């Protein structure tokens, strides 16, 4: 295959890896040199797309929005607290009544009493510690997926079959979904629904990478 054709094919389908050897050819070949010049000009022209303009009002707008958000949050908290007061009081009274009746009727044994006064009942269901454990396991899982990703990377960088190309596209979509979910989770760490969704996407990524690695072996 001629170098010109290889250069053209590289422009159509190539990857970063094959560039240096073809660059030498293009520097010495008039038609290919034009393509190469345009290729290099893209990076040279890119910084000219930086946009700088004065917007003296922008910080004022942001500050105002932050203060409004803070006021709305405080007002909402105040409303919730005042609304929550009577139902909580009623619920506490009802609970106390039921507990008193229960104690009179059932009279728990010493063992049961120990169980009822055990410290574990005083802790909330999902604590910061528990969440930290979840995050640590998630980090380990992500690290193992990254290792798998490195195994699959050479094949994905130069996909030799349409199937591998579609795997690569799928992985890009999955990475987008992961980035979005992680961004949402950064804002709401205790959201278990988001965590489940993120886990499902990671599992799909793991499954896809395994298929890529198997494809590599076959």
Partner 1 sequence: MQNGVRVRAREGGENLVETPDSASVREPEAELLEGARRGDVSAFERLFQTHGERMKSLAANLLGSPSEAEDAVQETFLKIYRAASSFRGSASLSTWAYRVLVNTCYDLLRRRARRPESPVSWVEPPVDFGSAPAADHPLRVDLAASLAALDSRRRAAFVLFEVEGFSHREVGDILGVPEGTSRSLVFEARRELQRRLWGSREARA
Note the residues at the interface with partner 1 (CB under 8 A): 11-12, 14-16, 35, 38-39, 41-55, 58-59, 61-63, 65-67, 69-70, 73, 135, 146, 149, 153, 156-157, 172, 175-176, 178-180, 182-183, 186-190
- Smaller CB separation from partner 1, 73 or 114: 73
State in angstroms the smallest separation of the CB of 211 from partner 1.
18
State in angstroms the smallest separation of the CB of 191 from partner 1.
10
- Smaller CB separation from partner 1, 44 or 117: 44
- Smaller CB separation from partner 1, 149 or 208: 149
Token output for 2: 């001629």
Find all residues with CB under 8 Å of 202, minimum gap 6, and list them. 141, 142, 145, 178
- Smaller CB separation from partner 1, 41 or 116: 41
Question: What region does 107 belong to: left with phi over 0, alpha with psi -120 to 50, or beta?
Answer: left
Token output for 103: 């104690």
- Smaller CB separation from partner 1, 99 or 173: 173
Nearest partner of 12 among 40, 31, 35, judged by Cα: 35
**What DSSP string runs through 80-91?**
HHHHHHHHHHHH
State in angstroms the smallest separation of the CB of 121 from partner 1.
26
Residues 99, 89: Cα–Cα separation, whole Å: 15
State in angstroms the smallest separation of the CB of 83 from partner 1.
22
- Smaller CB separation from partner 1, 113 or 207: 207
First to last CA, the chain: 27
State in angstroms the smallest separation of the CB of 174 from partner 1.
10
State in angstroms the smallest separation of the CB of 30 from partner 1.
15
15 and 157 Cβ atoms separated by less than 8 Å: yes
Which 8-state DSSP code applies to residue 123? S
Token output for 26: 């293009």
């Amino acid at each position: 295959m001629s170098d010109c054709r290889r250069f053209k094919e590289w422009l159509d389908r190539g990857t970063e890896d094959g560039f240096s050897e073809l660059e030498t050819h293009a520097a010495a070949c008039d038609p290919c040199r034009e393509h190469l010049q345009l290729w290099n000009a893209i990076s040279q022209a890119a910084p000219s797309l930086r946009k700088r303009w004065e917007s003296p009002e922008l910080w004022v707008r942001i500050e105002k929005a932050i203060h409004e958000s803070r006021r709305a949050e405080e007002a909402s908290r105040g409303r919730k607290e005042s609304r929550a007061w009577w139902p909580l009081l009623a619920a506490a009274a009802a609970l106390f009544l039921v507990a008193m009746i229960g104690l009179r009727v059932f009279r728990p044994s010493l063992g049961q009493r120990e169980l009822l006064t055990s410290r574990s009942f005083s802790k909330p269901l999902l604590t910061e510690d528990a969440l930290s454990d979840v995050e640590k396991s998630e980090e380990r899982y992500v690290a193992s997926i990254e290792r798998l990703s490195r195994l699959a990377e050479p094949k994905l960088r130069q996909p030799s079959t349409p199937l591998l190309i579609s795997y690569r596209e799928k992985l890009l979509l999955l990475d987008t979904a992961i980035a979005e979910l992680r961004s949402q989770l950064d804002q709401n760490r205790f959201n278990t629904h988001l965590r489940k969704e993120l886990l499902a996407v990671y599992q799909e990524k793991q499954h896809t990478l395994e298929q890529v690695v198997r494809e590599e072996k076959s």
